[in-house]
Amino acid sequence: MLEKIQAWDEKILTKLTHKRTPVLNKIMILITTVGNHGYVWFVFLMPFLLMNKWRITGFTMLLSLCFTWLGGEVTIKHIVGRVRPCNKSFEEFLLIENPPHYSFPSGHSSSSFAISMVMFFMCQHLFIPVLIFAALMAFSRMYLLVHYPTDVIAGAVFGIICGCIAVPLSPYIPFFDFQF
């Protein structure tokens, strides 16, 4: 079964290498770069933290990012230990610096989808644009050959779960009562 999944992953990545264009390469590099270390999401949540009306939404986003980081980057990646596609058979097609950590699940995907779930529950008018950006972020990781499709799918599912957990937990964290 795992061999079939691996073959499916590699087949999709091989097809993606044939669909690349110079313009799309630049767009995907930009999208993935702003997602490095969750920077785009920290910049995104800062205005929420500064406004009393939206502060709980900002802290909920922060909480969901903490869940994805602790669960995905710190725990699951080291348990699974999946080698990235660019370290196996796609190294010659690499357009960005080779990420130093394991592949499964995609941290870019999990953080992006966690934020999109918080938006779904707490700030619906931003849900669709954030979801579209999350999908582009996830796609960029496959396009740039630093994640397999199953890494991205698992990251998205994990992010959705983390976002769904953060929303009901956030009101119970006393820090949300802080006012400027």
Q: pLDDT (tens digit, 9 = 90+) per residue, 65-101? A: 999 999 998 999 889 988 888 777 655 666 777 777 8
CA–CA distance, 81 with 161 (Å, rounded to integer): 21
pLDDT of 102 over the 80 cut: yes
The pTM of this model reads 0.87
pLDDT at residue number 84: 83
Q: Within a domain: residue 70?
A: yes
Q: Within a domain: residue 176?
A: no
Instruction: Classify residue 168 as exposed, middle or buried by CB count within 10 Å of its CB (0-12, 13-18, 19+).
Output: exposed
pLDDT at residue number 97: 72
CA–CA distance, 57 with 157 (Å, rounded to integer): 21
Q: Which strand (E) or helix (H) includes residue 84?
A: none
Q: Within a domain: residue 177?
A: no
Rounded to an integer, the average pLDDT of 144-160 is 94
Structural domain harbouring 164: 11-171
**Cβ distance 108 to 139 under 8 Å?**
no
- Count the Cβ atoms, other than its own, within 10 Å of residue 117: 26
Q: Within a domain: residue 123?
A: yes
What's the domain count of the chain?
1
